[in-house]
Amino acid sequence: MDAWLIGGVKSLIVIAMVLQLSALLLWVERKGSALIQNRYGANRANFFGVVPFNLGFLNTLIADPIKLFTKEDFVPAGADRFIHSLAPFLALFPALITFAAIPFGDYVVIGGTTIELRAVDLDVGILYVVAMVAMSVYGVVLAGWASNNRWALLGSIRGAAQMISYEVALGLALVSMVLTYNTLDMQAMVYAQGELIFGVLPAWGFLYQPAALLIVFTAGMAESKRVPFDLPEAESELVAGYFTEYSGGKQAAFMLADFAEVVMTAGLVVTLFFGGWQVPYLTAEGWTLPFMDLIPVTGWIVTVLQLASFTIKVLFFCWLQILVRWTLPRFRYDQLMNLGWKGMIPLALINLFITALMILLVGESA
């Protein structure tokens, strides 16, 4: 029963973490886009004019949800009511639970019980991530189909084609990472990145697999369907794409799913390529900088530093995605497909071949 309790608490923490980050990103995106476009951004939130300063942050945390959830929940005539209601949750659900396999820290010992800091201990962790990414197609496809609207249907067909195409590249790039680390377990991958190359550089994944980093990051952005990959919603062509006919809480669910996917991509990239929760040169004994004496840091401080390291890295990659979103224009559809099928997939295949060849020649995985 103890295991159930610990598992439940960890799952709650992970889901809360993703939800909080997604809500935070909503605000960061507004302010960030304002910064990029030389505007002010959200600055109208206040408690009936009582507070003397602007509560922009509360705008998206409190005011926006209230606004969204009090709007009319509209279902168009001729729509499939059940699937129309189901689709937002099918979009949100995989995005939220993907994080379960991503480790956000080493282990802690509380009262003699060792608790690993991730929601579930999966020995096929990375395949679980791919599986959940594959499941996220359904929300998009069914939203468009159930809306009984041709823009929505066009958007959802675009979305399905795009997500399936980039999933292939993502999967192939992940296979080369599996070969590099010689494991499917994401915690073991993070441990492998705690080693040092020649005793100097931390053995982070992007040093071994820069091409895979490029592919995973790009494909991850394509999976989250945001600019420059936002053809499924393309507001200048398709009204709002697959969620044209959604309003109120259901539309909020789609927005939340988008941001949860951003967080997921950031988490995946950090875990695979940037050492996960590893702090450079920090081991259980303390900081062992090369050519220097050991600085003793132990116990809880190490755990807190590792959690902070993971959070900061994830936030950085979330910010990077927002930056890309507000910097690049949208692809044309043929450009998108060419990039996917003629660019990313051959690159991923060549990368996989070279990885396998190196392992064969060197005789050992990193």
* Interface contacts to another protein, rule CB under 8 A: 80, 83, 122-124, 127-128, 130-131, 133-135, 137-138, 141-142, 145, 153, 157, 160, 164, 167, 171, 184
Residues near 284 by beta carbon (within 8 Å), at least 6 away in sequence: 298, 302
Compare residues 101 and 322 and give the one whose CB is closer to another protein: 101
CB 252 within 8 A of CB 68: yes
d(CA 163, CA 121): 27
Compare residues 171 and 249 and give the one whose CB is closer to another protein: 171
CB 183 within 8 A of CB 155: no
- Distance of alpha carbon 353 from its chain centroid, rounded? 27
Compare residues 145 and 317 and give the one whose CB is closer to another protein: 145
Whose tokens are 């062509």? That residue is: 237
d(CA 203, CA 207): 7
Compare residues 220 and 228 and give the one whose CB is closer to another protein: 220
Q: How far is the CB of 4 from another protein (least distance, A)?
A: 11
Compare residues 28 and 163 and give the one whose CB is closer to another protein: 163
- DSSP per residue over 246-270, as a string? --HHHHHHHHHHHHHHHHHHHHHHH
d(CA 262, CA 256): 10
Compare residues 127 and 323 and give the one whose CB is closer to another protein: 127
CB 337 within 8 A of CB 165: yes
Compare residues 36 and 122 and give the one whose CB is closer to another protein: 122
Q: How far is the CB of 258 from another protein (least distance, A)?
A: 20
Cα of first residue to Cα of last residue in the chain, in angstroms, is 38
Residues near 80 by beta carbon (within 8 Å), at least 6 away in sequence: 145, 146, 148
Whose tokens are 């200048």? That residue is: 236
Q: How far is the CB of 145 from another protein (least distance, A)?
A: 6
Compare residues 142 and 336 and give the one whose CB is closer to another protein: 142
Residue 285 half-sphere exposure, CB side, CA atoms within 13 Å? 5
Q: How far is the CB of 167 from another protein (least distance, A)?
A: 8
One-letter amino acid for residue 72 of the chain: E
Q: How far is the CB of 22 from another protein (least distance, A)?
A: 23
CB 331 within 8 A of CB 339: yes
Q: How far is the CB of 130 from another protein (least distance, A)?
A: 6
Q: How far is the CB of 156 from another protein (least distance, A)?
A: 8
Q: How far is the CB of 164 from another protein (least distance, A)?
A: 6
Buried-exposed string 342-360: b where 16+ CB fall within 10 A, e elsewhere: eebbebbbebbeebeebbe
CB 159 within 8 A of CB 224: no
Q: How far is the CB of 293 from another protein (least distance, A)?
A: 41
Compare residues 142 and 216 and give the one whose CB is closer to another protein: 142
Compare residues 101 and 270 and give the one whose CB is closer to another protein: 101
Residues near 349 by beta carbon (within 8 Å), at least 6 away in sequence: 172
Q: How far is the CB of 137 from another protein (least distance, A)?
A: 5
